[in-house]
Amino acid sequence: MRQRAAEELHLTGATVKARIGLNSGTVVAGNIGGEKRFDFTVLGNDVNLASRLEGVNKQYGTGIMIGEATVNALSGQFVLREIDAVRVKGKKQPVAIFELQAEMGALSELHVERNEAYAAGLACYREARWDDALKYLLKAQRALGSDGPSEILIARAREYQQDPPPPDWDGVYDMQTK
């Protein structure tokens, strides 16, 4: 897999873009339906989370979002960037979300620099150190000119500078949409 190859497909002058949500876990799979109508499908909490992760891409401006269970199964084969911790709509338990970026060793130096700055900014954000978070996140955003996840956390950090979260804030973002 080359960087961005899984999220953009070029076909005779047209570009097709897709968002992908990946999660690993237990599912029920099979033909569901009645005597006259069969529909092969998968059901279960892990399927629902994968669907939510696909939607999370839209908010963060990413293409391939994966959950923690899949991260654990990949065992260092790919470059992943932890994006945030969220509570997806309909769930109480937070989940760390990761962007799948490339095969190991395939990222440019600028992408590596951006990822390091973003990781430092995310750590400061979670510690409610807004000034430090902004310093690193702005560096991450500048590394490649635009970065959806950095822009999201920059906006939140600026908002929290003006109106701090409650003392019991856990650093998890509650998703409002599917």
How high is the pLDDT of residue 8? Answer: 61
Q: Which residues pair with 80 in a beta bridge?
A: 100
Over residues 161-176, mean pLDDT: 92
- CA end-to-end distance (rounded Å), the chain: 28
- One-letter amino acid of 123: A
pLDDT band at 4 (very low <50, low <70, confident <90, very high): very low
How high is the pLDDT of residue 157? Answer: 97
Residue 20 has pLDDT above 50, yes or no: yes
DSSP 44: S
Q: Do 137 and 118 touch, CB atoms closer than 8 A?
A: yes
Instruction: Read off the pLDDT of residues 42-78 as tens digits, 9 standing for 90 and up.
Output: 888 888 888 899 989 999 999 999 999 899 888 788 9
Instruction: Read off the pLDDT of residues 150-165 as tens digits, 9 standing for 90 and up.
Output: 999 999 999 999 999 9
User: How many angstroms separate the CA atoms of 136 and 34, rounded?
Assistant: 56
How high is the pLDDT of residue 86? Answer: 93
Q: Which residues of 97-125 are buried (b: 16+ CB within 10 A; e: fewer)?
A: bbbbbbeeeebeeebebbbebbebbbebb
Instruction: Read off the pLDDT of residues 89-128 as tens digits, 9 standing for 90 and up.
Output: 777 889 999 999 998 889 999 999 999 999 999 999 999 9
pTM value is: 0.84
User: How many angstroms separate the CA atoms of 118 and 149, rounded?
Assistant: 9
User: How many angstroms separate the CA atoms of 112 and 165, rounded?
Assistant: 31
Q: Which two tokens stand for residue 103?
A: 């095969």
Higher pLDDT, 111 or 6: 111
